């Protein structure tokens, strides 16, 4: 894992901790964070604020519809941030 990926993972785990979730690794499923729906929303809002992960989503479309919540991995979230 490179430094940028580690920084993103650290950011994710900080938000997850604040939202009372479980720490994740780059190889985790995002579901492993065990957040409630509000916690996942906060996580993605924080990531979008810092890394513009929804920049490619057209205005007026739901950015969360681009996420497969059942299968997304932490690695995939990190890739969206890069």
pLDDT digits (tens, 9 = 90+) for 23-82: 999 999 999 999 999 999 999 999 999 999 888 888 888 888 878 888 999 999 999 999
Query: Which CATH number covers residue 73?
Result: 1.10.1200
* Residue 1 tokens, joined: 């894992």
| Tally of structural domains, the chain | 1
Look at the block and give the residue holding tokens 């979008």.
Answer: 48
User: What's residue 69's pLDDT?
Assistant: 86
Residue 59 tokens, joined: 């205005």
Q: Which domain holds residue 37?
A: 3-81
Distances (CA, A) of 37 to 11, 40, 56: 18, 5, 23
Separation CA 38–CA 60 (nearest Å):
21
């Amino acid at each position: 894992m490179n430094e940028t990926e580690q920084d993103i993972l650290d950011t994710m785990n900080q938000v997850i901790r604040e939202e009372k979730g479980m720490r994740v690794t780059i190889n985790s499923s995002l579901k492993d964070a065990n957040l409630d729906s509000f916690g996942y929303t906060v996580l993605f809002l924080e990531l979008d604020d810092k890394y513009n992960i929804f920049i490619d989503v057209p205005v007026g479309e739901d950015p969360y519809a681009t996420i497969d919540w059942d299968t997304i991995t932490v690695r995939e979230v990190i890739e969206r941030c890069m």
